[in-house]
Amino acid sequence: MSLPGPFAVGAYARKLQEEMRKRARVQLIGEVTGVGRSKVQAYFELRDGDGAVPCAIWLNDLEKAGLTDGALRDGAEVVIAGGPDYYPGGGQASPSFCFRATEVRLAGEGDLIARLEALRKQLRSEGLFELQKQLRRPRLPKTIGVVTAETGAARRDLLAGLERRGWAGNLIWAFAPVQDRRAAPAIAMAIQDLAARPEVEAIVVTRGGGSLADLWAFCDETLCRTVAMLRVPVVSAVGHERDSTLIDDVAAVACSTPTHAAEAAVPLDCLAARESLERCSLALRRAGEGAIGTRSRHLGALARGPARALQRERGKLNQKIREIRAASERGVAERAASQRRIGTVVLERARRRAAGADLEKRREALRQATVTLRAHEPERTLERGYALVEGEAGEPVTSAVAAAAAPGVKLRFADGRVQARTEGDVERET
Amino acid sequence: MSERPESYEAAVERLEEIIDRLDSGQAGLRETLDLCKEGKELVNYCAAELDEVGEGLKELRLDDLAAKLEASPGVN
């Protein structure tokens, strides 16, 4: 062993105490746990999520601090001032280390806010605020887990909010202390147990308002890290609107009241949704019936179309027929009249033509007849020296017998007649 | 639609699409009838989902459920 010594342990212990007391005096902030008292001093642990220090304060210093009775209790957030100390013990007494506090006060808003901001900065830098917000939140969860105090207004307000939504599904209550040092671990465990149940679709964590110290459990780093890593969306409603706890930052949704938390856990207004569904149902029915009705009317119209078109065409056709008939009758009459006129003209022409030729012939014939007649006129014969025998009455006497029998005859010459008488018998020509 | 909708919101979203399409008046007869059929199934699905959260609040305690789980056979 090349180290210095060996030294007497008692001397070393006093030297250690001396060294400890040289350390800088500082202030510490944390939660008080394990408070106990002896005749001369009070002792407790001061801790937070990362560690703890055993502390002690002389009772006279504690009295000077002016704390009310019981203020130094488990779960209280306090600020202490002092420095490390070492009690070397003695022949019988055990040695011990402690932070010797000479002053103590309850942590104020400012102290807590400073701690909260440091934690907030840390968790944000790790991206823990975003994880829950990326989770899908069902609009209509059927089972909701709720972490809250068994007694208190938060529970009642939450139920009222759910009723206002028209939601009446399954609620699983996970009751936990919501204020003191036991609260944060109990809440974290309740949340994890709820999330482990497959039917739980959303978790609400809620409690009523209070000071930041009262709500401090909801700023617990371990609790907030648990919430951030959860796969079930968490809706937080801790304290009132002005209160901002760390769990609000890591939760999927942060609400100001339990009533709002109920509405965030069930985004769907079930009453309005039922009405909307009725409207959808009606719209679908109308669309279906309308589509068929409109089309059947259209089809009906189309079906009647050809008949109407046929009727229309038939009407046109009949009209045409009537027009044609009328025109035809008119045309026939006109043609008949025209033909009659033409016929008349033709006939007339023909007649005239025919008449013209006949006349000529007749004239010729007449001329011939006249010539012939003239040739046969007795006057012509008489002119050539012949005489015509006529009876008393002027009738021709054409035979010898008649002449012999006649009492008297006349002989007609070209220039006149003379009375004559026949004598003797008839002399026959041989 | 033969498959069950993925979720209530998916059903409602599809239903809104259907109503919009029908309202547009551009769907033909076959499409209209198909959309109406699908829409009716979605309405029925949504109504059933709403009925599930409309028949009375059921309050349970996590402690009781955990106790039951521990008491049930076959669970370690």
More confident residue, A51 or A181: A51
In this predicted structure, what is the pLDDT of residue A294? 78
Whether the Cβ atoms of residue A179 and residue A74 lie closer than 8 Å to each other: no
For A139, A365, A366, A376, A377, the CA distances from A369, given in Å and listed in that order, are: 140, 6, 5, 10, 11
Which ranges in A23-78 belong to alpha helices (H)? 59-65
Identify the contact set of chain A against chain B, taking CB-CB distances under 8 A.
138-140, 142, 145, 159, 162, 166-175, 190, 193-194, 197, 266, 268, 270, 273-274, 277, 280-281, 283-285, 287-288, 291-292, 295
Confidence at B73, pLDDT banded by 50, 70, 90: low
Give the model confidence (pLDDT) of A162-202 as tens digits.
999 899 999 999 999 888 777 889 999 999 999 999 999 99
The whole-number average pLDDT for the span A54-82 is 88
Confidence at A430, pLDDT banded by 50, 70, 90: low
B2 occurs within a structural domain: no
Whether the Cβ atoms of residue A397 and residue A406 lie closer than 8 Å to each other: yes
Give the model confidence (pLDDT) of A225-238 as tens digits.
999 999 999 999 98
In this predicted structure, what is the pLDDT of residue A186? 92
Which two structure tokens, joined as six digits, stand for A342? 């033409």
Q: Is A197 helix (H, G, I), strand (E, B) or coil?
A: coil
Q: Which residue of A has its CA nearest to B27?
A: A291
Residue range A116-271 forms a domain whose CATH class is alpha beta
Q: Is A278 helix (H, G, I), strand (E, B) or coil?
A: helix
In this predicted structure, what is the pLDDT of residue A356? 66
A-to-B residue pairs, Cβ atoms closer than 8 angstroms = 104
Residue B74 has pLDDT above 60, yes or no: no
The strand ranges marked E within A241-362 are 253-254
The CATH architecture of the domain made up of A9-107 is Beta Barrel (2.40)
Q: Where are the domains of chain A?
A: 9-107, 116-271, 368-430
Q: What is the ipTM of this complex?
A: 0.81
**What rounded mean pLDDT belongs to chain A?**
86
Please, how many CA atoms are within 13 Å of residue B50, restricted to the half-sphere of its CB? 22
Confidence at A26, pLDDT banded by 50, 70, 90: very high
Confidence at A112, pLDDT banded by 50, 70, 90: confident
Place of tokens 């304060």: A57
Which amino acid, residue A196? A
In this predicted structure, what is the pLDDT of residue A248? 92
Q: Which of B43, B57, B66 sits opposite A284 (nearest CB)?
A: B43
In this predicted structure, what is the pLDDT of residue A408? 85
B25 occurs within a structural domain: yes
Quick check: A145 and B35 CB within 8 A? Answer: no
Confidence at A373, pLDDT banded by 50, 70, 90: low
Q: Could you tell me which of A75, A365, A119, A142 has the C-alpha nearest to residue A219?
A: A119
In this predicted structure, what is the pLDDT of residue A68? 79
Q: How far apart are CA A158 and CA A137, in angstroms?
A: 18
Residue A325 has pLDDT above 90, yes or no: no
Confidence at A14, pLDDT banded by 50, 70, 90: very high
Helix, strand counts (H, E) of chain B: 3, 1
Place of tokens 């020296």: A385
Domain of B17 in residue numbering reads as 8-71
Question: How many domains in chain B?
Answer: 1
Global confidence as pTM = 0.61
DSSP A113-178: HHHHHHHHHHHHHTTTTTTGGGSPPPSS-SEEEEEE-SSSHHHHHHHHHHHHHT---EEEEEE---
Quick check: A274 and B54 CB within 8 A? Answer: yes
Q: Which helix (H) or strand (E) holds B32?
A: helix B29-52
In this predicted structure, what is the pLDDT of residue B75? 46
Q: How far apart are CA A247 and CA A240, in angstroms?
A: 13
Quick check: A169 and B57 CB within 8 A? Answer: yes
Give strand pairing partners of A87: A96
B76 occurs within a structural domain: no
B34 occurs within a structural domain: yes
Which two structure tokens, joined as six digits, stand for A13? 């212990």
Quick check: A162 and B57 CB within 8 A? Answer: yes
B22 occurs within a structural domain: yes
Mutate to test the interface with B, among A204, A280, A299 (most CBs of B within 10 A): A280
Whether the Cβ atoms of residue A132 and residue A238 lie closer than 8 Å to each other: no
Find chain A residues with C-beta within 8 A of B55's C-beta. Answer: 168
Find chain A residues with C-beta within 8 A of B34's C-beta. Answer: none
